[in-house]
Amino acid sequence: MSVNFIDDNKPLEQPMLEIIHANFGWLHAPPLPPASCHGLILRQADRVVLVDTGIGMHDIENPLERIGQEAIGAAGFQFIRDCTAIAQITNLGLPSENVTDIVLTHGDHDHVGGLADFPDARVHVSAEELAEIKAGNPRYSAEQFSHGVNWIKYGANDCEWFELPSRKIDLDVDADVRLIWLPGHTLGHCGVAIETSDRKVLYVGDAYYLRGELEDREHPIEELATIRAEDNAARLNSLERLISFKREHSTEVEVFGYHDTQELPESIPGIDDFAKE
């Protein structure tokens, strides 16, 4: 007699969403210290969502056309194939086609380079940021979007998430994923909040460069942050909101940004672990 251990009338449970920290590239322009491109891989079974994409394979193959020598030198782009999002997805044993969606904080060179490696993915972004990209704002590279991006834009804050204005993202995963309105670094810059049944994450993108900015209002990196801000008053306002958020919610929400290497998990290789190309 055979025994059926499956209740045919009960749907199989979906696997839990994994939130995987990743580093999608390195920047190093001495005398500044190395900076990471710290994003996220959201994985549910074979479905993958990326949060920012770092330096892509097409950037490595055509850096001058896609980024330009001035930006490469100023930011210190390091072109390392193993760091690309597509290489890391492959290392997970998944085809690149499984990346169905990408959530973008903003359109700077070091955040969008991997978009072309996943040309069929839907790309979720604030309407304000998309307007600047399409208007030809010179801080962005039209070449990095030339493959034809499947844009999904979000133009209005629909509720607050822990007192932060947010816009719910349409994703088919078991999590509440939101753009968090943190403008200033760029005019449409957003963070990304991810809330599952047992975990809450706030990824702030470039709303700060270094976590120390949340403690020291005169941090040395402030000069660079001011220079790079499209609207410095808005940037400072966003930073103040993050300072308040950290004070009130740091025990329940994991907060991290894009460039501070101290926020990378210890398991992620450092810049010196890679041979430069």
User: What sections of the chain are H helices per DSSP?
Assistant: 57-61, 63-66, 69-75, 85-91, 109-112, 127-134, 222-228, 232-249
Is residue 85 within 8 A of residue 39, CB to CB? The reply is: yes
Task: Report the sign of the C-alpha dihedral through residues 44, 270, 140, 255, in that order.
Answer: positive
Predicted local confidence at residue 152, as pLDDT: 98
Predicted local confidence at residue 261, as pLDDT: 98
Residue 176 Cα distances to 82, 118, 187, 192, angstroms: 30, 23, 24, 10
Predicted local confidence at residue 274, as pLDDT: 84
Predicted local confidence at residue 2, as pLDDT: 37
**pLDDT < 70 positions in the chain:** 1-14, 275-277
Predicted local confidence at residue 5, as pLDDT: 36
Cβ-Cβ contacts under 8 Å for 107 (sequence gap 6 or more): 125, 129, 132, 133, 137, 139, 140, 145, 186
User: What sections of 67-206 are H helices per DSSP?
Assistant: 69-75, 85-91, 109-112, 127-134
Return mean pLDDT, the chain: 93
- pTM score: 0.93
Cβ-Cβ contacts under 8 Å for 172 (sequence gap 6 or more): 47, 100
Is residue 235 within 8 A of residue 190, CB to CB? The reply is: no
